[in-house]
């Protein structure tokens, strides 16, 4: 299993608008293609205005196919401009759990 950790630093004050858009529209599109959502978070302490979402994939090939399908979806293409200007910095990591990890 591989986990994709996507971290976005949003413009100051944009977290409520971003979360509303994702909840009302974006998350269903993502789940339809990406599959297993591990968690979706916003920061309370530490770096402010930060969103982190984690997705699980069987393999890197699985991730590549699922992300390609999402990016080709017209509904996703229509949704992206609604959140794009709220994001200042985006970071993406792919991690694999250790054998003893509960998420392994």
The domain that contains 49 carries what CATH number? Answer: 3.30.70.100
70-85 per-residue burial string, b: 16 or more CB within 10 A, e: under 16:
beeeeebeebeeebee
Beta strands 50-57 and 36-42: pairing type? antiparallel
Residue 104 in any domain: the answer is no
Residue 50 in any domain: the answer is yes
Q: Which residue numbers in the chain have pLDDT < 50? A: none
Could you tell me the pTM of the whole model?
0.90
Residue 34 in any domain: the answer is yes
Q: How far is 6 from 15, CA to CA, in rounded Å?
A: 15
SS3 state at 101? coil
Number of domains in the chain: 1
Enclosing domain of residue 84: 2-95
Residue 40 in any domain: the answer is yes
pLDDT recorded at residue 47:
87
Residue 25 in any domain: the answer is yes
pLDDT recorded at residue 35:
85
pLDDT recorded at residue 103:
81
């Amino acid at each position: 299993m591989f986990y994709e950790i996507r971290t976005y630093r949003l413009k100051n004050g944009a977290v409520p608008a971003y979360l509303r858009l994702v909840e009302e529209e974006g998350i269903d599109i993502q789940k339809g293609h990406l599959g297993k959502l591990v968690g979706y978070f916003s920061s309370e302490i530490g770096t402010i205005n930060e969103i982190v979402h984690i997705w699980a994939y069987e393999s890197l090939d699985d991730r590549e196919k699922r992300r390609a399908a999402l990016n080709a979806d017209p509904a996703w293409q229509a949704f992206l401009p609604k959140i794009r200007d709220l994001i200042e910095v985006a970071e993406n990591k792919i991690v694999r759990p250790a054998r003893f990890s509960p998420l392994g």
